[in-house]
Amino acid sequence: MKTRTVEQIFAPNPPHYVGDGFRVHNFIPSVPQLSMRRMDPFIMMDYNSKFYFPPSETPRGVGVHPHRGFETVTIAYNGKVAHHDSSGGGGIIGQGEVQWMTAARGVLHKEYHEESFSKTGGDFQMVQLWVNLPAKHKMDPPKYQAITRESMKKVSLPNNAGHVEIISGKFENETGSASTFSPVHLQNAHLNPEGEVTFSFPANFNTGILVIDGNVEIENSKLPTNHFALLRNDGESFTIRALEKSIVLVLSGEPLDEPIAAQGPFVMNTQQEILQAIWDYNNGKFGELS
Ligand code: MN
């Protein structure tokens, strides 16, 4: 098996706010080397690096807005997120949990800090990824998967190196509980100091690594906290070594290789479909949510 090498390492962009509750660094697609095409099927990645939110009586967040044509995947590392959508889906995810929302033909939703977390305040840290849907599934009915701590698949690593949590896809002989519409591997490696883990995905799968906590080395490149490594499509396997206790998010997906037409919260295949999405939204076709 050939080793996959590091193409480039990116420091986090200056943060901006999504609503008043998400202070995020955008990596995909605003870093020019991390375009929707280059990272296909990952079309957006916002990262709220660890940030202290003081107590607030009114939960901070982002109000009702639409999505069509893709899935939103929210991974909570610190703090709690509440979510409600117009298909009746919703819930609360806490530390170590994931909400995987398939917007598909369209939902309205809102995303907030969970009420009790809001009242006490605290460190907040999360990732939101948008995973594109294949053209033939863009108009499927919406659905919602919650991956709780209990349903998160875990694989222990040898030599007390730590463990891997599988959100989706495969690691060794285990498969994550999230169902996906195309091959998507989304996994958190929790590594002890000097702990090593080797991942292997087909060479054509677009692959990146975000350091949530700690400091790691990937094939001899140093990757500090909150930095993102883009890996080349020149091999399958790569080894991550922790220089201290660390958490890294690994994403790898098979490119859909279909046309992308994107405008705000709508990601379709043609401009005509974007205009249809805007028309449907303006005509109440995404349901209701107050
Ligand atoms: Mn949203």
Quick: pLDDT tens for 31-84.
Answer: 999 999 999 999 999 999 999 999 999 999 999 999 999 999 999 999 999 998
Residue 189 vs residues 123, 153, 164, 173, 211: alpha-carbon distances, Å: 21, 12, 4, 16, 10
pLDDT one digit per residue (tens) for the chain, 290 residues: 899 999 999 999 999 999 999 999 999 999 999 999 999 999 999 999 999 999 999 999 999 999 999 999 999 999 999 998 888 878 899 999 999 999 999 999 999 999 999 999 999 999 999 999 999 999 999 999 999 999 999 999 999 999 999 999 999 999 999 999 999 999 999 999 999 999 999 999 999 999 999 999 998 899 999 999 999 999 999 999 999 999 999 999 999 999 999 999 999 999 999 999 999 999 999 988 87
Please tell me the distance between residue 91's alpha carbon and the centre of ligand 1 in angstroms.
14
Please tell me the distance between residue 43's alpha carbon and the centre of ligand 1 in angstroms.
14
Round to whole Å and give the CA distance between 45 and 43: 7
Please tell me the distance between residue 204's alpha carbon and the centre of ligand 1 in angstroms.
29
Say which residue the tokens 């995973």 belong to: 131
Residue among 15, 78, 19 nearest 47 (CA): 15
Round to whole Å and give the CA distance between 290 and 281: 15
Please tell me the distance between residue 6's alpha carbon and the centre of ligand 1 in angstroms.
31
Please tell me the distance between residue 108's alpha carbon and the centre of ligand 1 in angstroms.
8
The structural domains of the chain, with segments of one domain joined by +, span 6-272
Please tell me the distance between residue 239's alpha carbon and the centre of ligand 1 in angstroms.
33
6-272 in CATH: which number? 2.60.120.10
Please tell me the distance between residue 5's alpha carbon and the centre of ligand 1 in angstroms.
33
Please tell me the distance between residue 246's alpha carbon and the centre of ligand 1 in angstroms.
28
| Contact yes or no for 113/52 (Cβ under 8 A) | no
